[in-house]
Amino acid sequence: MNDAIDSLRAQYLSLINEQLPEKAKQVSMPVRFNHCFARIILDNLFEACWYEYLSRQLPAYKQLNEEQLAQAIAIAEEMLSNPESVRQLNRNSLHWRGKLRE
pLDDT tens, position by position, 28-49: 999 999 999 999 999 999 999 9
CB 86 within 8 A of CB 30: yes
The 10s digit of each residue's pLDDT in 52-76 is 999 999 999 999 999 999 999 999 9
Higher-scoring residue by pLDDT: 31, 2: 31
The answer to whether the CB of 73 falls within 8 A of the CB of 12 is yes
pTM confidence score: 0.94
Is the confidence at residue 102, as pLDDT, over 70? no
81-101 pLDDT, tens digit each? 999 999 999 999 999 999 987
| pLDDT confidence of residue 1 | 58
Q: What is the pLDDT of residue 100?
A: 82
pLDDT value, residue 2? 83
